[in-house]
Amino acid sequence: MAKSRIAVVGAGLMGHGIAQVFALAGHEVTITDTVAQNLDSAKSRIAANLRDLGDDESAIARVTPRADLAEAVRGADYVVEAVSENLPLKQKLFAEIERHVRNETILASNTSVIPITAIMQGLKRRERALGTHWWNPPFLVPLVEVIETQWTSAQAVAWTMELHLAAGKKPAHVKKDVPGFIGNRLQHALWREAISLVEHGICDAETVDAVIKASFGRRIAVLGPLENADLVGTDLTLAIHETVLPAIDSRPGPSPYLQKLVADGRLGFKSGEGFRKWSAKEQAALRAKVFAHLKATRNS
Ligand SMILES: NC(=O)c1ccc[n+]([C@@H]2O[C@H](COP(=O)([O-])OP(=O)(O)OC[C@H]3O[C@@H](n4cnc5c(N)ncnc54)[C@H](O)[C@@H]3O)[C@@H](O)[C@H]2O)c1
Protein backbone atom coordinates (compact mmCIF):
# COMPACT_ATOMS: atom_id res chain seq x y z
CA MET A 1 0.00 0.00 0.00
CA ALA A 2 1.23 3.53 -0.81
CA LYS A 3 2.59 5.49 2.13
CA SER A 4 0.06 7.98 3.45
CA ARG A 5 -0.06 11.04 5.62
CA ILE A 6 -1.88 10.15 8.81
CA ALA A 7 -3.03 12.44 11.61
CA VAL A 8 -3.79 11.09 15.08
CA VAL A 9 -5.89 13.37 17.30
CA GLY A 10 -5.35 12.56 20.99
CA ALA A 11 -1.98 11.40 22.31
CA GLY A 12 -3.20 9.37 25.30
CA LEU A 13 -3.06 5.64 25.93
CA MET A 14 -4.59 4.72 22.56
CA GLY A 15 -3.50 7.66 20.38
CA HIS A 16 0.25 7.30 20.93
CA GLY A 17 0.02 3.54 20.31
CA ILE A 18 -1.95 4.01 17.09
CA ALA A 19 0.59 6.60 15.90
CA GLN A 20 3.34 4.08 16.67
CA VAL A 21 1.73 1.35 14.53
CA PHE A 22 1.32 3.65 11.52
CA ALA A 23 4.83 5.11 11.80
CA LEU A 24 6.29 1.61 12.00
CA ALA A 25 4.36 0.75 8.82
CA GLY A 26 6.17 3.59 7.03
CA HIS A 27 3.53 6.32 7.07
CA GLU A 28 4.22 9.96 7.96
CA VAL A 29 2.26 10.61 11.16
CA THR A 30 1.32 13.84 12.89
CA ILE A 31 -0.09 13.68 16.39
CA THR A 32 -1.91 16.37 18.34
CA ASP A 33 -3.31 16.83 21.85
CA THR A 34 -4.66 19.78 23.82
CA VAL A 35 -2.68 18.81 26.93
CA ALA A 36 0.93 19.90 26.36
CA GLN A 37 2.37 17.25 28.67
CA ASN A 38 0.61 14.44 26.77
CA LEU A 39 1.78 15.78 23.42
CA ASP A 40 5.34 16.47 24.57
CA SER A 41 5.75 12.96 25.97
CA ALA A 42 4.20 11.14 22.96
CA LYS A 43 7.46 10.60 21.08
CA SER A 44 9.37 9.39 24.12
CA ARG A 45 6.55 6.96 25.00
CA ILE A 46 6.55 5.62 21.43
CA ALA A 47 10.35 5.35 21.45
CA ALA A 48 10.25 3.40 24.73
CA ASN A 49 7.64 1.00 23.31
CA LEU A 50 9.64 0.43 20.11
CA ARG A 51 12.76 -0.29 22.16
CA ASP A 52 10.93 -2.66 24.50
CA LEU A 53 9.41 -4.59 21.58
CA GLY A 54 12.64 -4.73 19.58
CA ASP A 55 10.96 -2.83 16.70
CA ASP A 56 12.71 -0.43 14.31
CA GLU A 57 13.39 2.63 16.44
CA SER A 58 13.99 4.80 13.37
CA ALA A 59 10.18 4.86 12.93
CA ILE A 60 10.07 7.58 15.56
CA ALA A 61 11.47 10.03 12.96
CA ARG A 62 8.18 9.73 11.06
CA VAL A 63 6.13 11.01 14.04
CA THR A 64 5.61 14.79 14.23
CA PRO A 65 3.81 16.31 17.23
CA ARG A 66 1.74 19.43 16.44
CA ALA A 67 0.00 21.47 19.10
CA ASP A 68 -2.35 23.06 16.56
CA LEU A 69 -5.20 20.84 15.31
CA ALA A 70 -5.45 22.54 11.90
CA GLU A 71 -1.70 22.09 11.29
CA ALA A 72 -1.86 18.49 12.43
CA VAL A 73 -4.63 17.43 10.04
CA ARG A 74 -3.88 19.68 7.04
CA GLY A 75 -2.76 17.56 4.07
CA ALA A 76 -3.69 14.29 5.80
CA ASP A 77 -5.06 11.36 3.80
CA TYR A 78 -6.48 9.83 6.95
CA VAL A 79 -7.38 11.24 10.37
CA VAL A 80 -8.05 9.02 13.38
CA GLU A 81 -9.48 10.50 16.55
CA ALA A 82 -8.61 9.03 19.96
CA VAL A 83 -9.64 11.78 22.39
CA SER A 84 -11.64 11.30 25.60
CA GLU A 85 -14.90 9.30 25.36
CA ASN A 86 -17.27 12.28 25.13
CA LEU A 87 -19.86 12.68 22.35
CA PRO A 88 -20.10 16.51 22.18
CA LEU A 89 -16.29 16.74 22.24
CA LYS A 90 -15.93 14.27 19.37
CA GLN A 91 -18.71 15.94 17.33
CA LYS A 92 -17.12 19.37 17.76
CA LEU A 93 -13.70 18.03 16.89
CA PHE A 94 -14.81 16.37 13.63
CA ALA A 95 -16.67 19.53 12.56
CA GLU A 96 -13.40 21.43 13.10
CA ILE A 97 -11.28 18.74 11.40
CA GLU A 98 -13.57 18.79 8.35
CA ARG A 99 -12.75 22.47 7.82
CA HIS A 100 -9.05 21.73 7.41
CA VAL A 101 -8.90 18.53 5.34
CA ARG A 102 -9.50 17.67 1.68
CA ASN A 103 -12.94 16.38 0.64
CA GLU A 104 -11.63 12.85 0.21
CA THR A 105 -9.68 12.60 3.50
CA ILE A 106 -11.04 9.64 5.48
CA LEU A 107 -12.09 10.42 9.06
CA ALA A 108 -12.17 7.71 11.75
CA SER A 109 -13.14 7.61 15.42
CA ASN A 110 -11.65 5.14 17.88
CA THR A 111 -14.61 5.43 20.26
CA SER A 112 -15.18 2.42 22.52
CA VAL A 113 -18.97 2.54 22.65
CA ILE A 114 -20.42 5.77 21.24
CA PRO A 115 -22.34 5.09 17.98
CA ILE A 116 -20.28 6.25 15.00
CA THR A 117 -23.54 7.52 13.49
CA ALA A 118 -23.98 9.93 16.41
CA ILE A 119 -20.40 11.20 16.17
CA MET A 120 -20.42 11.72 12.39
CA GLN A 121 -24.02 12.85 11.73
CA GLY A 122 -23.15 16.56 11.53
CA LEU A 123 -20.41 16.20 8.90
CA LYS A 124 -20.84 17.68 5.45
CA ARG A 125 -19.32 14.58 3.82
CA ARG A 126 -20.46 11.63 5.86
CA GLU A 127 -19.48 9.08 3.22
CA ARG A 128 -15.80 9.37 4.24
CA ALA A 129 -16.45 8.82 7.96
CA LEU A 130 -16.28 5.55 9.87
CA GLY A 131 -15.18 3.92 13.12
CA THR A 132 -11.92 2.11 13.79
CA HIS A 133 -12.06 0.36 17.12
CA TRP A 134 -8.56 -0.60 18.30
CA TRP A 135 -7.82 -2.65 21.43
CA ASN A 136 -5.34 -1.79 24.15
CA PRO A 137 -2.39 -1.84 23.72
CA PRO A 138 -2.80 -0.95 20.02
CA PHE A 139 0.67 -2.23 19.13
CA LEU A 140 0.07 -5.67 20.67
CA VAL A 141 -3.60 -6.58 20.13
CA PRO A 142 -4.13 -7.32 16.43
CA LEU A 143 -7.83 -6.53 15.97
CA VAL A 144 -9.16 -3.26 14.57
CA GLU A 145 -12.92 -3.22 13.97
CA VAL A 146 -13.77 -1.03 10.96
CA ILE A 147 -17.33 0.19 11.43
CA GLU A 148 -19.41 1.62 8.64
CA THR A 149 -22.48 3.78 9.10
CA GLN A 150 -25.45 4.04 6.75
CA TRP A 151 -23.54 6.81 4.93
CA THR A 152 -20.02 5.33 4.66
CA SER A 153 -18.85 4.61 1.11
CA ALA A 154 -17.60 1.16 0.13
CA GLN A 155 -14.34 2.81 -1.02
CA ALA A 156 -13.72 4.37 2.40
CA VAL A 157 -14.25 0.99 4.08
CA ALA A 158 -12.03 -0.86 1.59
CA TRP A 159 -9.20 1.72 1.84
CA THR A 160 -9.31 1.68 5.66
CA MET A 161 -9.33 -2.12 5.80
CA GLU A 162 -6.28 -2.20 3.49
CA LEU A 163 -4.49 0.52 5.50
CA HIS A 164 -4.76 -1.52 8.70
CA LEU A 165 -3.97 -4.86 7.05
CA ALA A 166 -0.82 -3.40 5.50
CA ALA A 167 0.17 -2.06 8.95
CA GLY A 168 0.09 -5.61 10.35
CA LYS A 169 -3.32 -5.37 12.03
CA LYS A 170 -6.26 -7.75 11.64
CA PRO A 171 -9.12 -5.51 10.49
CA ALA A 172 -12.70 -6.78 10.81
CA HIS A 173 -15.49 -5.16 8.83
CA VAL A 174 -18.53 -4.29 10.98
CA LYS A 175 -21.34 -3.77 8.48
CA LYS A 176 -23.79 -2.06 10.83
CA ASP A 177 -23.15 0.55 13.50
CA VAL A 178 -24.47 -1.43 16.49
CA PRO A 179 -23.56 -0.73 20.16
CA GLY A 180 -20.46 -2.66 21.19
CA PHE A 181 -19.63 -3.43 17.53
CA ILE A 182 -18.61 -7.14 17.44
CA GLY A 183 -15.84 -7.65 19.99
CA ASN A 184 -17.42 -5.95 22.98
CA ARG A 185 -20.84 -7.51 22.35
CA LEU A 186 -19.24 -10.96 22.56
CA GLN A 187 -16.97 -10.06 25.46
CA HIS A 188 -19.76 -8.58 27.57
CA ALA A 189 -22.21 -11.40 26.83
CA LEU A 190 -19.62 -13.60 28.57
CA TRP A 191 -19.07 -11.11 31.41
CA ARG A 192 -22.82 -10.92 32.08
CA GLU A 193 -22.99 -14.67 32.65
CA ALA A 194 -19.71 -14.65 34.63
CA ILE A 195 -21.16 -12.07 37.03
CA SER A 196 -24.48 -13.93 37.21
CA LEU A 197 -22.75 -17.16 38.29
CA VAL A 198 -21.15 -15.31 41.22
CA GLU A 199 -24.35 -13.41 42.04
CA HIS A 200 -26.34 -16.65 42.25
CA GLY A 201 -23.79 -18.41 44.48
CA ILE A 202 -22.80 -21.04 41.92
CA CYS A 203 -19.12 -20.25 42.41
CA ASP A 204 -16.85 -17.41 43.46
CA ALA A 205 -15.08 -14.95 41.14
CA GLU A 206 -11.73 -16.81 41.26
CA THR A 207 -13.49 -19.99 40.16
CA VAL A 208 -15.20 -18.31 37.18
CA ASP A 209 -11.85 -17.06 35.93
CA ALA A 210 -10.08 -20.36 36.67
CA VAL A 211 -12.73 -22.34 34.75
CA ILE A 212 -12.41 -20.13 31.67
CA LYS A 213 -8.60 -20.02 31.74
CA ALA A 214 -8.33 -23.80 32.13
CA SER A 215 -10.93 -24.74 29.48
CA PHE A 216 -12.18 -22.90 26.40
CA GLY A 217 -9.84 -20.00 27.20
CA ARG A 218 -6.99 -22.33 26.21
CA ARG A 219 -8.48 -22.86 22.76
CA ILE A 220 -10.22 -19.62 22.00
CA ALA A 221 -7.25 -17.82 20.40
CA VAL A 222 -7.12 -20.54 17.73
CA LEU A 223 -10.70 -21.83 17.73
CA GLY A 224 -13.52 -19.31 17.47
CA PRO A 225 -16.98 -20.26 18.78
CA LEU A 226 -18.49 -20.81 15.35
CA GLU A 227 -15.53 -22.90 14.21
CA ASN A 228 -16.01 -24.81 17.46
CA ALA A 229 -19.75 -25.26 16.77
CA ASP A 230 -18.96 -26.70 13.36
CA LEU A 231 -16.23 -28.87 14.84
CA VAL A 232 -18.58 -30.49 17.37
CA GLY A 233 -21.59 -30.31 15.03
CA THR A 234 -24.42 -27.81 14.74
CA ASP A 235 -26.83 -30.57 15.89
CA LEU A 236 -24.96 -30.96 19.17
CA THR A 237 -24.81 -27.16 19.51
CA LEU A 238 -28.59 -26.99 19.06
CA ALA A 239 -29.15 -29.69 21.69
CA ILE A 240 -26.91 -27.83 24.17
CA HIS A 241 -28.68 -24.53 23.50
CA GLU A 242 -32.12 -26.07 24.03
CA THR A 243 -31.09 -27.02 27.59
CA VAL A 244 -28.65 -24.27 28.56
CA LEU A 245 -29.94 -21.05 26.98
CA PRO A 246 -33.16 -20.88 29.01
CA ALA A 247 -31.00 -21.00 32.16
CA ILE A 248 -28.44 -18.36 31.10
CA ASP A 249 -28.79 -14.78 32.31
CA SER A 250 -30.69 -12.72 29.74
CA ARG A 251 -31.55 -9.63 31.80
CA PRO A 252 -31.31 -6.54 29.59
CA GLY A 253 -29.52 -4.23 32.07
CA PRO A 254 -26.41 -4.41 34.26
CA SER A 255 -26.45 -6.95 37.08
CA PRO A 256 -27.66 -5.73 40.51
CA TYR A 257 -24.54 -7.46 41.93
CA LEU A 258 -22.31 -5.24 39.78
CA GLN A 259 -24.34 -2.16 40.68
CA LYS A 260 -23.86 -2.92 44.37
CA LEU A 261 -20.09 -3.37 43.98
CA VAL A 262 -19.90 0.09 42.43
CA ALA A 263 -22.24 1.64 45.03
CA ASP A 264 -20.06 0.13 47.81
CA GLY A 265 -16.89 1.62 46.30
CA ARG A 266 -15.50 -1.81 45.36
CA LEU A 267 -14.17 -0.55 42.03
CA GLY A 268 -11.48 -3.17 41.35
CA PHE A 269 -7.77 -2.32 41.12
CA LYS A 270 -8.35 1.39 41.73
CA SER A 271 -9.87 0.76 45.18
CA GLY A 272 -7.99 -2.47 45.96
CA GLU A 273 -11.12 -4.61 45.79
CA GLY A 274 -13.77 -5.45 43.19
CA PHE A 275 -15.01 -9.01 42.63
CA ARG A 276 -11.97 -9.92 44.76
CA LYS A 277 -9.20 -8.20 46.75
CA TRP A 278 -6.07 -6.96 44.97
CA SER A 279 -2.83 -5.94 46.69
CA ALA A 280 -0.53 -3.56 44.79
CA LYS A 281 1.83 -6.49 44.19
CA GLU A 282 -0.95 -8.70 42.78
CA GLN A 283 -2.12 -5.90 40.50
CA ALA A 284 1.40 -5.35 39.12
CA ALA A 285 1.88 -9.10 38.65
CA LEU A 286 -1.37 -9.49 36.70
CA ARG A 287 -0.63 -6.51 34.46
CA ALA A 288 2.89 -7.86 33.76
CA LYS A 289 1.51 -11.33 32.99
CA VAL A 290 -1.01 -9.99 30.47
CA PHE A 291 1.60 -7.76 28.80
CA ALA A 292 4.11 -10.63 28.57
CA HIS A 293 1.45 -12.92 27.08
CA LEU A 294 0.44 -10.32 24.46
CA LYS A 295 4.09 -9.72 23.58
CA ALA A 296 4.77 -13.44 23.18
CA THR A 297 1.75 -13.94 20.90
CA ARG A 298 1.83 -10.67 18.94
CA ASN A 299 2.90 -12.32 15.67
CA SER A 300 0.63 -15.36 15.92
N1 LIG B 1 -8.25 2.62 26.78
C2 LIG B 1 -8.75 1.63 26.07
O3 LIG B 1 -8.56 0.44 26.37
C4 LIG B 1 -9.53 1.93 24.81
C5 LIG B 1 -9.75 0.90 23.88
C6 LIG B 1 -10.44 1.19 22.70
C7 LIG B 1 -10.92 2.47 22.48
N8 LIG B 1 -10.71 3.45 23.42
C9 LIG B 1 -11.23 4.80 23.13
O10 LIG B 1 -10.16 5.59 22.62
C11 LIG B 1 -10.36 6.96 22.99
C12 LIG B 1 -9.16 7.45 23.77
O13 LIG B 1 -9.02 6.64 24.91
P14 LIG B 1 -7.66 6.62 25.77
O15 LIG B 1 -7.76 5.44 26.66
O16 LIG B 1 -6.48 6.79 24.87
O17 LIG B 1 -7.86 7.95 26.64
P18 LIG B 1 -6.76 8.90 27.29
O19 LIG B 1 -7.44 9.66 28.35
O20 LIG B 1 -5.52 8.11 27.63
O21 LIG B 1 -6.37 9.87 26.09
C22 LIG B 1 -7.24 10.85 25.57
C23 LIG B 1 -6.39 12.02 25.13
O24 LIG B 1 -7.21 12.93 24.41
C25 LIG B 1 -6.73 14.22 24.72
N26 LIG B 1 -7.74 15.21 24.36
C27 LIG B 1 -8.88 15.55 25.03
N28 LIG B 1 -9.55 16.50 24.33
C29 LIG B 1 -8.82 16.76 23.20
C30 LIG B 1 -9.00 17.61 22.09
N31 LIG B 1 -10.06 18.42 21.99
N32 LIG B 1 -8.07 17.60 21.11
C33 LIG B 1 -6.99 16.80 21.19
N34 LIG B 1 -6.76 15.95 22.24
C35 LIG B 1 -7.67 15.95 23.22
C36 LIG B 1 -6.41 14.16 26.20
O37 LIG B 1 -5.56 15.21 26.59
C38 LIG B 1 -5.73 12.79 26.28
O39 LIG B 1 -4.33 12.87 26.06
C40 LIG B 1 -11.68 7.01 23.78
O41 LIG B 1 -12.73 7.29 22.91
C42 LIG B 1 -11.78 5.58 24.31
O43 LIG B 1 -13.10 5.22 24.63
C44 LIG B 1 -10.02 3.21 24.56
The 10s digit of each residue's pLDDT in 182-224 is: 999 999 999 999 999 999 999 999 999 999 999 999 999 999 9
The 10s digit of each residue's pLDDT in 31-71 is: 999 999 999 999 999 999 999 999 999 999 999 999 999 99
- Predicted confidence at residue 137, as pLDDT, reads 97
Q: Residue 238: is its pLDDT beyond 90?
A: yes
- 28 labelled catalytic: no
Which strand (E) or helix (H) includes residue 132? strand 129-134
Q: Which of 14, 31, 139, 145 to mutate to test the pocket of ligand 1 (most atoms within 8 A of CB)?
A: 14
**What percent of the chain has pLDDT above 90?**
98
Identify whether 137 is preceded by a cis peptide bond (ω within 30 of 0).
yes
Report the mean per-residue pLDDT for the chain. 97
Q: Residue 233: is its pLDDT beyond 90?
A: yes
- Centre of ligand 1 to C-alpha 33, Å, is 10
- 49 labelled catalytic: no
Closest Cα to residue 14, out of 175, 134, 142?
134
- 293 labelled catalytic: no
Among the listed residues 112, 153, 199, 273, the single catalytic one is 112
The 10s digit of each residue's pLDDT in 66-122 is: 999 999 999 999 999 999 999 999 999 999 999 999 999 999 999 999 999 999 999
- Centre of ligand 1 to C-alpha 11, Å, is 7
Q: Residue 299: is its pLDDT beyond 90?
A: no
Q: Which of 33, 136, 294 to mutate to test the pocket of ligand 1 (most atoms within 8 A of CB)?
A: 33
Cα distance between residue 152 and residue 157, in whole Å: 7
- Centre of ligand 1 to C-alpha 10, Å, is 6
Among the listed residues 41, 184, 188, 273, the single catalytic one is 184
Q: What proportions of the chain, in percent to the nearest 5, are helix, strand and coil?
A: 50, 15, 35
Q: Based on the number of CB atoms within 10 Å of its own CB, is 68 exposed (0-12), middle (13-18) or buried (19 or more)? A: exposed
pTM of this structure:
0.96
Q: Residue 157: is its pLDDT beyond 90?
A: yes
Cα distance between residue 152 and residue 115, in whole Å: 14
- Residue 9 Cβ < 6 Å to ligand 1: yes
- 145 labelled catalytic: yes
- Residue 41 Cβ < 6 Å to ligand 1: no
Nearest 5°: CA angle at 145, between 258 and 286? 45
For residue 81, list its beta bridge partners: 9, 109
- Centre of ligand 1 to C-alpha 6, Å, is 17
- Predicted confidence at residue 300, as pLDDT, reads 80
The 10s digit of each residue's pLDDT in 125-156 is: 999 999 999 999 999 999 999 999 999 999 99
- Predicted confidence at residue 17, as pLDDT, reads 98
**Size of the chain, expressed as the number of residues it contains:** 300
Q: Residue 170: is its pLDDT beyond 90?
A: yes
For the sheet with 143-147, list strands across it: 63-65, 28-32, 5-9, 78-81, 106-109, 129-134, 143-147, 170-174
